[in-house]
Structure 1
Amino acid sequence: MLKITPYMGPLVIIVSIAGLWFPLLGYFMLLVFGAIFLIAPFRGRWFCGNLCPRGSFMDFWVGKVSEKRKIPKFLKSYWIRVPLFMLMIVFMGYRLMNTHGLINQIGMVLVIMCLVTSSIAVVLGVTIAPRTWCTFCPMGTLQSIVGVNKYPLQMDIEKCIKCHKCEKICPMHLNIVEMTHNPDCIKCGRCIDICPKDALSFKKSVKSA
């Protein structure tokens, strides 16, 4: 996690709410998409755990009022995530085509997308766990596919004492002790920081089998 990560959250409110009156704020979403496409091929879902404004908002704002229940496993299934990603692309494409290239209308489409998805994320974050949306987020799914085996978390089995502190602090509720290169790791590094034996670390890449 970067030092600025906890302060990225307010950007979600600015774009989602202020954007209704100032549609050009929606273009901030294009910067987010651009950053994702640049980072994912080399670091997987690193953006999610370090620079994502919504992720920051969920962790440090919604996390204070969340029920913090276990994230349902079915939400992590690619059978749900891939169709959702495709649906979002089709919906966005349709809405953008109807803007006829008008700058403010394009911005409003992006604002509405941010508002709707963020609203769903907040509801799930409060009733289940802060990062529930992130388990099936379309952009997160794209990153996990594009950046598979990139900058993976690795464990020194000889050092691990099976205390499971890493799993308790993992915002994605991953089974860290038993997992091998899970593409949904958001590279936030919290597990590394809390490990009492320094058994966890990131390495640059892993060759696909």
Structure 2
Amino acid sequence: MLKITPYLGALVLIVSIGGLWYPALGYFMLLIFAAIFLSSPFRGRWFCGNLCPRGSLVDFWVSKISKKKKIPASLRSMWVRLPIFFLLMGFMGYRIVNIVGALNTFEKIGMVFVTMCLVTTAIAVLLGSYLSPRAWCSFCPMGTAQRLLGGKRYQLQLAKEKCINCKKCEKICPMQLKICENKTKSDCIKCGRCVAVCPKDALQF
């Protein structure tokens, strides 16, 4: 992860709470969307593990109160993820289309982004507290988009001959991935924690 990663969680609070008084803050979401769609075709879900403000919030703040349970496999299923993606994106698009042309259009569209940020952050915090910090990230619409655009890019490489099967990498993985299985990990967020904790330098990107 980047040195700035642990501090980015403040941004999602500024947008989702401060945006209630200053709707223009909602347009920060457009920068997030742009960064996601520019980076994911080349590095998959790298944004999630390094620059996502909500990811930082759950990793470094919510994790302190999380029960850290196992993330249900059903939440990772595309049968769950794709409907959620289209539902949230469709609802946001519908709201924006109905606002265009109205009075104070700029502020009202900003409030749509703020509302989406606030609602999804509340869900992320609740799931992160009750289940695991990154529970929301297992089916996050933007995470799903990154997986579809570049899930096979910038893959974690495992040198099997070096691995001693200590499972330290799997214990520290925020996404609870099976790192010791030498398979494509489309939901790897490239945070690098597994690489850092490996005692045999068996992992690298």
Aligning the two structures, in what range does the TM-score lie when normalised by the shorter sequence? over 0.9
Which residue in 2 is equivalent to 1:150? 153
- State the TM-score, normalizing by the size of structure 1: 0.95
Is 1:23 matched with 2:23? Answer: yes
SS in 2 for 1:69: coil
Which residue in 1 is equivalent to 2:119? 116
Which residue in 2 is equivalent to 1:76? 76
Output one character per residue of 1:109-147: Cα deviation in whole Å (capped at 9) or x when no partner.
000000000000000000000000000000100100100
* 8 Å Cα contact 2:159/2:203 also seen in 1: yes
Following TM superposition, by how much is the alpha carbon of 1:89 offset from its aligned partner in structure 2, in angstroms? 1.6
Which residue in 2 is equivalent to 1:13? 13
Which residue in 1 is equivalent to 2:107? 104
In structure 2, distance between residues paired with 1:180 and 1:94: 39
Which one of 161, 178, 182 corresponds to residue 181 of structure 2?
A: 178
Is 1:50 matched with 2:50? Answer: yes
Which residue in 1 is equivalent to 2:87? 87
Q: CA RMSD in A?
A: 0.7
In structure 2, distance between residues paired with 1:98 and 1:149: 37
In structure 2, distance between residues paired with 1:149 and 1:80: 21
Which residue in 2 is equivalent to 1:134? 137
SS in 2 for 1:98: helix
In structure 1, distance between residues paired with 2:116 and 2:19: 11
In structure 1, distance between residues paired with 2:74 and 2:152: 22
Instruction: Say if 1:188 and 1:81 are closer, same or farther in 2 by CA, change over 3 A.
Output: same
SS in 1 for 2:19: helix
AA of the residue aligned to 1:14: I
Following TM superposition, by how much is the alpha carbon of 1:157 offset from its aligned partner in structure 2, in angstroms? 0.2
Output one character per residue of 1:145-183: Cα deviation in whole Å (capped at 9) or x when no partner.
100210000100000000000000000000110141211
Count residues in correspondence: 202
In structure 1, distance between residues paired with 2:24 and 2:156: 38
* 8 Å Cα contact 1:154/1:180 also seen in 2: no
- Could you tell me which runs of 5 or more consecutive residues in structure 2 were left unpaired when the two chains were aligned: none
Following TM superposition, by how much is the alpha carbon of 1:91 offset from its aligned partner in structure 2, in angstroms? 0.4
SS in 1 for 2:99: coil
Identity of aligned residues (%): 65
AA of the residue aligned to 1:22: Y
* 8 Å Cα contact 2:75/2:138 also seen in 1: yes
* 8 Å Cα contact 1:63/1:126 also seen in 2: yes
AA of the residue aligned to 1:10: A
State the 4+ residue runs in structure 1 displaced beyond 2 angstroms: none
In structure 1, distance between residues paired with 2:203 and 2:82: 30
Output one character per residue of 1:50-90: Cα deviation in whole Å (capped at 9) or x when no partner.
00000000000000000011111110000100111111121
In structure 2, distance between residues paired with 1:99 and 1:15: 20
In structure 1, distance between residues paired with 2:87 and 2:110: 20
SS in 1 for 2:157: strand
Following TM superposition, by how much is the alpha carbon of 1:195 offset from its aligned partner in structure 2, in angstroms? 0.1
